Amino acid sequence: VTLGARWTPVDAAGLYVPGGLAAYPSSVLMNAVPARLAGVKRLVAATPAPDGTLNPLVLAALDLAGVTEIYRIGGAQAVAALAYGTKTIAPVDKIVGPGNAYVAAAKRQVFGTVGIDSIAGPSEVLIIADKENDPAWLAADLLAQAEHDEAAQSILITDDEALANAVAAEVERQLAVLPKEKIARASWQQHGAVIVVRSLDEAPALADRVAAEHVQLCVTNPDGIAARISHAGAIFLGSHTPEAIGDYVGGPNHVLPTARAARFSSGLSVLDFMKRTTIIGCTAGALAQLGPSAATLADAEGLDAHARSIRIRLNR
């Protein structure tokens, strides 16, 4: 018996690039680079163009990533165009990239017609910190998520009440000078949390319950705690590894599972743009050994033609 598997890239991938309230050239690279490495032949970008113009940084990132097919279209209609095609846009096989709630809902509806990366929700960070931390650093890390969206979530878990109070005060101080203060304050007030535990030994179980997109371990022994966390999109080890470094140049992809999806899914990678085809081959002797068992199972399931397609070869 010959058994094997072959990995091949999808023929065409659509990259949704936000361009409404904010433009993210980093997301272009995070989506396009693994697709190129996978060997995808056709990369298509769809991005909204407020006032008819495209963000020059987004265009530069698309050019660097080798994306030459770019359409000025955004929202749910862009997802539909990529999935079903139009007179000017040929359909793709997979759609990736972040977007608002309407884009996420559209991706959910076209799944099955095309593949998708995930149903992305608001960004989130969970920070586990001991007392050996600068409250200003931790506050800045919490607000780095809060400024994304009013629905973003920032959580601090610590075993030191004095640190918890200092961080909460520092958040307020930094909010007052943050350009996106309105968005970040709404996020912090509605979804932020500071949790004081009796011991940091309790933190990994809480982290697994949250299954956050980003988990920062600002502790003396980050590797020890990381080993006890099973559900996280990405883990950032130590106080000198802010989540923002992963957003841009740290290495791992910043397209990560949100809304507790880290329990069953992973961040975007080259494999998301590839599919596996399994291969099997039987000689006459191998079929003679395996065939009777397969035919018996077919009989048990009432699939007579299945059984016959095997036995007709065994009875020659």
Active site residues: 213-214
Per DSSP, the residues of the chain read -EEEEEEEE-SEEEEE---SS---HHHHHHHHHHHHHHT-SEEEEEE--GGG---HHHHHHHHHTT--EEEE--SHHHHHHHHH--SS----SEEE----HHHHHHHHHHBTTBEES------EEEEEE-SSS-HHHHHHHHHHHHTT-TT-EEEEEES-HHHHHHHHHHHHHHHTT-TTHHHHHHHHHHH-EEEE-S-GGGHHHHHHHHT-SEEEEESS-HHHHHTT----SEEEESTT--HHHHHHTSSS-S----TTGGGT-----GGGGEEEEEEEE--HHHHHHHHHHHHHHHHHTT-HHHHHHHHHHHT-
Place of tokens 């433009």: 23
Alpha-carbon distance 212 to 199, whole Å?
20
Q: Which of 106, 101, 114 is nearest to 44 (CA)?
A: 114
In sequence order, the 6+-apart residues with CB closer than 8 A to the CB of 134 are: 239
